[in-house]
């Protein structure tokens, strides 16, 4: 009975590891495939860059969120039309 439990738990942990690796690989491919500038830089350009010295960690987090976002194309379209970032942008509350 103990061996069956060990095998089951090992299979569950292996499945979790595979899912985590798959998610990481998908995010990495998405970030590498996109060659356009990140929309966060357009948002920062509109808001001004004066507050960046005060929050470098917040900027790093915002860039990471933007790089891994699935909606960059929609955000770029919204910025190009003059409406600003997409309404559901995870960086909508970025200080600026």
Residue 65 is predicted with a pLDDT of 83
Q: DSSP string covering 12-60, please?
A: HHHHHHHHHHHHHHHHHHHHHH--SPPHHHHHHHHH-STTGGG-HHHHH
Both tokens assigned to 33? 């495939």
- pLDDT at residue 82, rounded to an integer: 79
Residue 12 has a pLDDT of: 97
* pLDDT for 96: 45
pLDDT tens series, the chain, 96 aa: 699 999 999 999 999 999 999 999 988 887 777 777 777 777 777 766 655 656 677 778 888 888 888 888 888 888 888 777 777 787 766 654
Please tell me the predicted confidence (pLDDT) of residue 49.
62
């Amino acid at each position: 009975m103990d061996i069956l439990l060990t095998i089951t738990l090992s299979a569950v942990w292996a499945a979790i590891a595979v899912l985590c690796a798959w998610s990481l690989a998908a995010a990495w491919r998405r970030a590498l495939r996109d060659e356009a500038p990140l929309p966060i830089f357009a948002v920062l350009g509109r808001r001004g860059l004066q507050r960046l010295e005060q929050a470098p960690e917040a900027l790093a987090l915002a860039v990471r969120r933007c790089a891994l976002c699935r909606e960059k194309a929609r955000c770029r379209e919204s910025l190009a039309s003059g409406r600003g970032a997409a309404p559901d942008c995870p960086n909508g509350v970025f200080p600026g």
